[in-house]
């Protein structure tokens, strides 16, 4: 994970420019349908701050975190709120958020670390809250350009999230990359809900 964080720090400006203006509205809609007006959202791995800003503009209360300090600095300037430098493996919130947005962030964790991450995210949700997560579609783990990737399909996601009994997969679907030059890349998108009687 340290090498992945270093990569984003060293390439923060180019990554920010590549992702800041990508239109994510079709992915927001199924997630935000679950969030009450003015609800609390955690942008878990906020990257450029694009989604943090979009959620704020829609009236939600947003907490943003990212593991890469330089990217967090750029995101903070773009979104206009503090972005906390924090890794997903360090989350210890409980019953705090109506929704958690983990867009292309969990995929950088080794597969063996994902069950714990899902458990932490599940505990951070209020009962009935929802988690959006996305992974590059596929199977296995690999390194690319100094970054670690864990690719998942729906069956593997179900296996991993079984370790987080407070979460249940509500919906999953496949999409093409939203960036115009990468539409050949497929993505697995998932909405998971914390059970009303969860931990």
Q: What are the φ/ψ torsions at residue 109 (nearest 5 degrees)?
A: -85, 145
pLDDT at site 184: 60
pLDDT at site 179: 54
Are 189 and 174 in contact by the 8 Å Cβ rule? The answer is yes
Give CA–CA dist 139/137, Å, rounded.
7
Nearest of 81, 80, 89, 66 to residue 15 by alpha carbon: 66
Give CA–CA dist 137/151, Å, rounded.
6
Give CA–CA dist 47/8, Å, rounded.
9
Q: Which helix (H) or strand (E) holds 15?
A: helix 12-19
Give CA–CA dist 117/146, Å, rounded.
22
Nearest of 60, 20, 23 to residue 42 by alpha carbon: 60
Largest CA-CA distance found in the chain, in angstroms, rounded: 44
Nearest of 100, 4, 2 to residue 44 by alpha carbon: 100
Residue 14: which residues within 8 A CB-CB, separation 6 or more?
none
Nearest of 127, 99, 117, 119 to residue 191 by alpha carbon: 99
Are 30 and 171 in contact by the 8 Å Cβ rule? The answer is yes
Q: Specify the pTM.
A: 0.93
The structural domains of the chain, ordered by start, are 2-194 (3.40.50.150)
**What number of helices (H) and strands (E) belong to the chain?**
7, 9
pLDDT in tens, the chain (199 residues): 678 888 888 888 887 898 888 889 999 999 999 999 999 999 999 999 999 999 999 999 999 999 999 999 999 999 999 999 999 999 999 999 999 999 999 999 999 999 999 999 999 999 999 999 999 999 999 998 888 999 999 999 999 999 999 999 999 999 987 655 555 678 999 999 999 864 4
pLDDT at site 176: 84
Pairing verdict, β 83-85 and 61-66: parallel
Are 109 and 88 in contact by the 8 Å Cβ rule? The answer is yes
């Amino acid at each position: 994970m340290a090498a992945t964080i270093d990569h984003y720090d060293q390439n923060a400006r180019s990554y920010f420019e590549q992702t800041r203006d990508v239109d994510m509205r079709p992915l927001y809609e199924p997630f935000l349908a679950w969030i009450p007006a003015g609800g609390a959202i955690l942008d878990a791995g906020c990257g450029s701050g694009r989604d943090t800003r979009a959620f704020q503009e829609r009236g939600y209360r947003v907490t943003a975190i990212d593991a890469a300090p330089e990217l967090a600095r750029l995101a903070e300037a773009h979104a206009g709120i503090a972005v906390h430098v924090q890794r997903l493996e360090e989350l210890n919130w409980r019953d705090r958020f109506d929704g958690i947005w983990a867009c292309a962030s969990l995929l950088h964790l080794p597969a063996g670390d994902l069950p714990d991450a899902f458990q932490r995210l599940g505990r951070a949700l209020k009962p009935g809250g929802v988690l959006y997560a996305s992974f590059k579609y596929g199977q296995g783990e690999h390194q690319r350009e100094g970054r670690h990737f864990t690719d998942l399909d729906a069956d593997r996601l179900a296996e991993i999230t079984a370790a987080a009994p407070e979460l249940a997969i509500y919906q999953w679907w496949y999409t093409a990359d939203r960036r115009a030059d990468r539409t050949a890349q497929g993505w697995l998108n998932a909405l998971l809900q914390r059970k009303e009687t969860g931990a």
